[in-house]
Amino acid sequence: MTDNAQHLIDLTAFTADHCLKCNICTAACPVASITPLFPGPKTVGPQAQRMRLPGAPSPDHSIDYCSGCGICTLVCPHGVRVMEINTQAKAQMTATHGISLRNWFLSRNERWGRLGTPFAPLINFGLRLWLARWFAEKAVKISARAPLPRWAGYTFRGWWKKQVRQHPRPAPASDAQRVVYFHGCSTNTYEPHIGKLAVAVLEHLGLYVEIPPQTCCGLPAQSNGDFKAARRYARKNIAFLVDYARRGIPIVGTSASCMTAIKGDYQHVLGLDDPDAQLVAEHTYDFMEFLAKLHREGKLPTDFHPIERELPYHAPCQLKAHGMGRPALDVLDLIPGLRCWEIDADCCGIAGTYGFKAEKRAIAETVGKPIAEQVEAASAEVVVCDTETCRWQITSLTNATTIHPVELVAQAYGLTVDRYTPPVTARQM
């Protein structure tokens, strides 16, 4: 077979041809089995694709109910990129019918995070008023039950700039000591402590951290079908990062879902099929994946202080898509006394922006139920999870505090940062 023919077959739409119609994906789809509104991945994906030009609009609007969790792609034994096919079809629908105000709003989280920062106390207060939530549900169809983040009142980037100004660092001898940190929007404006801890850990490992300009990964726009905006974000990020990739400098990020976008979706969903996108993807690592890699190479100090805890861990659907296994568990297993176990759940239900939508909130809550049940059965007060929206969703489904694995790693190294209390020691059982 010629390389060109192989390339065509590998293109997302053509993976539909590998579909045997076995319905394994239908059995696994967390949405299809709980709502009659969605007939399931095989039906709206490869089945709808089989007589359609790749990229032509799908006649089937039920695809709007696909959460984009990607479980279908994971369970398919034949390599069909079901979620990717569905997301592309969704984008065609948006291109034809336009984007709703609500979906546009949810796609521009990056903006609201930034613009809201100076008004954090007011917004945090206002958004928790019953009336405001009721109004948002009625007028914009954002669920009144959906978990909302808190604005930190300062940005991670602002903190970093000050940090670099106050403590100038000598440039490293070689690029091998450099690492790029991709913080994502949520760390920048809602959870700067995650970024600060990530930097503390990387510096503890003797690495010189670089934080180049960056924008939203584009995933919220992509999952709302706004490919134009998503590609704009993607191209900007690629331009910001490709130089580092070219120099072989790893790009690491603490939001597993942003990293999915950069590593995979830019190519397989958005169709940015150029060498720069590939180069950036090749050098991009999830934060915990990066630590696991250092460990495999014998470069991770394991002089961890013990943390005597047994904690449930949720692997977000978008983290499962990486194909990197569960690096958070592999690394946390190195901490003496710490016993983390993976909750058996495909998806927490939030799937990026899906669970924020009023008409989908009940579905999102049902999808996340197995997590709540297992956390409750274990009487766990803290849940570990690598992605922010999943953490918010898990907190709303359980009474547990949710933390990023970097918080445990930092604690075990004895590292801390300003304006932060380690939740695990704070909430001893």
Ligand X SMILES: Cc1cc2nc3c(=O)[nH]c(=O)nc-3n(C[C@H](O)[C@H](O)[C@H](O)COP(=O)(O)OP(=O)(O)OC[C@H]3O[C@@H](n4cnc5c(N)ncnc54)[C@H](O)[C@@H]3O)c2cc1C
Instruction: Name the site residues for ligand X (rule: CB under 6 A).
Output: 17, 21, 47, 50, 53
Answer yes or no whether residue 260 interacts with another protein by CB under 8 A: yes
CB of 9: closest distance to ligand X in angstroms? 9
Report if residue 29 touches ligand SF4, rule: CB under 6 A: yes
> Please, which residue, 146 or 408, has the CB nearer to another protein?
408
Handedness of CA 404, 406, 407, 409 (dihedral sign): positive
Residue 17 interface partner, choices ligand X, ligand SF4, another protein, none, CB cut-off 5-8 Å depending on type: ligand X
Query: Helix, strand, or coil here: 119?
Result: helix
Work out the burial of residue 350: count CB atoms within 10 Å of its CB; fewer than 13 is exposed, 13-18 middle, 19 or more buried. buried
Q: Which of another protein, ligand X, ligand SF4, none has residue 67 at its interface (CB below 5 to 8 Å by kind)?
A: ligand SF4
Contacted entry of another protein, ligand X, ligand SF4, none for residue 82, CB cut-off 5 to 8 Å set by kind: ligand SF4
Would you count residue 82 as binding ligand SF4 (CB under 6 A)? Answer: yes
In whole angstroms, give the CA distance from residue 193 to residue 416: 9
> CB-hemisphere CA count at 13 Å for 82?
33
- 416 is a contact residue toward ligand SF4 (CB under 6 A): no
* Contact residue for ligand SF4 among 39, 70, 116, 312 (CB under 6 A): 70
Nearest 5 degrees, angle CA 66-CA 102-CA 349?
Answer: 35
Written in H, E and C, the secondary structure of 321-364 is CCCCCCHHHHHHCCCCCEEEEECCCCCCCCCCCHHHEHHHHHHH
The one-letter amino acid at 405 = P
Residue 334, interface with another protein (CB under 8 A)? Answer: yes
Cβ-contact 252, 180 below 8 angstroms: yes
What string marks each residue from 59 to 88 as x (binds another protein by CB under 8 A) or -?
--------------xxxxxxx---------
274 to 303, contacts with another protein by CB under 8 A? 281-284, 289, 292, 295-296, 298
Residue number with CB closer to ligand X (56 or 139): 56
234 interface partner picked from another protein, ligand SF4, ligand X, none, CB below 5 to 8 A per type:
none
Which residues, listed in sequence order, are joined to residue 210 by a DSSP beta bridge?
A: 180
Neighbouring C-beta atoms of residue 413, cutoff 10 Å: 19
Alpha carbons 258 and 191: distance in angstroms, whole number: 15
**Beta-carbon count within 10 A of 154 CB:** 16
Residue type, 201: V
- If one asks whether residue 23 binds ligand SF4 (CB under 6 A), the answer comes out as yes
Q: Kindly list the residues in this chain that would bind ligand SF4 in the complex (CB under 6 A).
A: 19-25, 29, 31-32, 41-42, 46, 66-72, 76, 78, 80, 82-83, 86
Q: Kindly list the residues in this chain that would bind another protein in the complex (CB under 8 A).
A: 20, 22-24, 26-28, 32-34, 36, 39-40, 73-79, 260, 262-264, 281-284, 289, 292, 295-296, 298, 320-326, 329-331, 333-334, 339-344
